[in-house]
Amino acid sequence: MFKRISALVLAGLTALSVTACGGGDGTTSAGTGGGGDDTITMGFAQVGAESGWRTANTKSVQESAKSAGITLKFSDAQQKQENQIKAIRSYIQQKVDVIAFSPVVESGWDPVLNEAKNAKIPVILTDRAVDSKDTSLYKTFLGSDFVEEGKKAGQWLVEEYKDSQDTVNIVELQGTTGSAPANDRKAGFQEVIGADPKFKIIASQTGDFTRAKGKEVMEAFLKSNPDIDVLYAHNDDMGLGAIEAIEGAGKVPGKDIKIITVDAVKDGMQALADGKINFIVECSPLLGPQLMDLAKKVVKGEEVPARVVTEETTFTQEQAKQVLSSRQY
């Protein structure tokens, strides 16, 4: 089902009073940004370059900043939280006008986000969420609904096996441990397949969203589980690594072992069109334009929604063949 839900802009749960950006007390932003009096300077702390999705996300942020006339300070944390925290601290010292980042994991952000708040520099979460109880620590969260993505993966599997009474043995390649997409894609998938006891997750382990780790873990799964029916990988890159392992074990990916992944990056869509993957849930990395719009509003002290959910859809093998040539990433 080619389902497209419109971009949901959920009104902020707490009415954000229109204050000078970051201050909340009516003061103006302390961020001079160093970009001249009216140019906005954004400090962006990226997760890393672990996957095709991340590379496309970085490109979207960098290109959108340029076309929005926003000066971008950019850092790559190589998937380490301490590096992201260091980068945020350096942006605070540089007095940027706004900070945006994709938290590599959900926990451990309150101290540095309080430092940004005390410096009166507004923060925008993009792509991934934090589990801070204090939602005043950031102005908005722009990104996908990962629980919904997991549910869509589960719904396809339930439909695929609706006429079978046999046990369906599933192995799961989880994303980065502690990250919002890993936690939520697991929860959404489990919520849907958990309704039918024939679906059994016989092994589940992190592949850290990378192709190399996905291959390594899938090799181990294959060695200890001779009768795997389905692989659910939390992103295309781990699924593509797993395909190498499955072929190395003399099995046919997409046939002997059905594969569901998330993202819909070009290489994933190619494997889907080639029949090596069976279903992909899209997770768009093209967050740059919306991020820059939100940044301009936040710096001006305008109210923004507490949550902005990006557009998402799903792809079957047939649909992949139709859209492959027009994919942007």
- Contact residues toward ligand GZL (CB under 6 A) are 50-51, 53-54, 127-128, 143-144, 181, 209, 235, 237, 262-263, 283
Residue 77 three-state SS: coil
Q: How far is the CB of 54 from ligand GZL (least distance, A)?
A: 5
CB of 263 to ligand GZL, least distance (A): 5
Nearer to ligand GZL, 96 or 240 (CB): 240
Q: Give min distance, CB of 282 to ligand GZL, in A.
A: 10
Do residues 34 and 95 touch, judged by C-beta distance below 8 A?
yes
Torsions phi, psi of 275, nearest 5?
Answer: 85, 10
3-state secondary structure of 236: helix
- Minimum distance between the CB of residue 305 and ligand GZL, rounded to whole angstroms? 18
Provide CB contacts within 8 A for 7, sequence distance 6+: 308, 309, 310, 311
The contacts of residue 191 (CB under 8 Å, 6+ apart) are: 147, 150, 151, 154
Which residues make Cβ contacts (< 8 Å) with residue 126, sequence separation at least 6? Answer: 61, 100, 101, 102, 141, 142, 143, 287, 291
Which residue do the tokens 């991934």 mark?
128
Least separation in angstroms between residue 37's CB and ligand GZL is 35
CB of 176 to ligand GZL, least distance (A): 7
Nearer to ligand GZL, 65 or 281 (CB): 281
Helix runs in the chain, H state only: 52-68, 81-93, 110-118, 146-160, 180-193, 211-224, 236-248, 266-273, 288-299, 317-323
Closest residue to bound ligand GZL by CB: 53
Reduced to 3 states (helix: H, G, I; strand: E, B; else coil), residue 167 is coil
Gap between the Cα atoms of 133 and 107, Å rounded:
10
